[in-house]
Amino acid sequence: MFCNVGYAAGDLFYKDYKNLSEDKQVIQYLQTLETGMQWAQTAYKQKGVKKLYCNTKTITHESLVMAIDIALMEFESRGNSSEDIDGYPMGVVFMVGLPILFPCN
């Protein structure tokens, strides 16, 4: 079985995601990353910290892809180069895209 140790052992960067976006392990990594972000939000809520994003249903793979696309547009609108964006960990991409896709009102 093929395993890309680069993302299995640490952060997945956008440059890696671009080349492996349909890989089942990458999809699982993104879903797990978002689940971890939800757990962090739950912990922060107990400390009175405002949520980063609000969702009312299970976040699908399609929603994660939309959040990534939204983050890319946001990065580009801020003047970030392709090289800059390629170097962002997917957690940072989600921290930008998920609040735009799922804002807290």
Cα separation, 67 vs 63, in Å, equals 6
Domain ranges of the chain: 29-101
Across 10-21, average pLDDT: 90
Of the chain, the percentage scoring pLDDT greater than 90 comes to 65
pLDDT of residue 4: 42
Cα separation, 44 vs 7, in Å, equals 26
pLDDT of residue 98: 95
Q: Record the pTM.
A: 0.84
Does 1 have pLDDT greater than 50? no
Q: How confident is the model at residue 75 (pLDDT cuts 50, 70, 90)?
A: very high
Q: Minimal CA–CA distance to 5: which of 73, 20, 41?
A: 20
Cα separation, 91 vs 71, in Å, equals 11
20-44 confidence digits (pLDDT tens): 988 899 999 999 999 999 999 889 8
